[in-house]
Amino acid sequence: MSFFVTPEFWVLVAVLIFFGLLIYLKVPAAMAKALDSRAERIQAELDEAQNLRAEAERLLTEIKAQREETERLAADMLAQAKEDAERMRKDAAVKLEEQIVRRTEMAERKIATAEAQAMADVKAAAAELAAEAARTVLAGRLAASTTDPLVDKAIGQMASKLQ
């Protein structure tokens, strides 16, 4: 009976009673249930994280596609702008050339008009001077002689014919 007196025996008895009470009070089932609920909660969080990752990957692919589309649109817009700029440059060059031609033609017409006016003025002045000179010469000759009506008529016509 010395076996009952040793402290190891009583520790063994206490441990067996403790485990007996745990089983009787269904503590292992409650612990298993708590562990199962925690495992389920962790699994739900993992599932949610996986869903969030899948959503993030889907959004990333959408954003990449949108970026590529935007870059393509920007490249198209840039190409169109370059084409428009080149077309505008060519149009401006054509319009400038047309304007230069118009102004040149207008200047040439003004010069031609001025030349024609100057020629007309010179001819008129020359005609008047010739008529005056002829009148003076004829008047001097006629003063010495008698007046001839045919000569007077010719002198009158000469001034009108020279203009």
* Model confidence, pTM: 0.42
Q: How many CB atoms lie within 10 A of CB 98?
A: 10
pLDDT digit string (tens) for the chain, length 163 residues = 577 788 888 898 899 988 887 677 776 777 888 888 999 999 999 999 999 999 999 999 999 999 999 999 999 999 999 999 999 999 999 999 999 999 999 999 999 998 889 888 888 888 888 778 877 877 777 666 656 677 667 777 776 776 6
Please say whether the beta carbons of 163 and 129 come within 8 A: no
d(CA 157, CA 136): 15
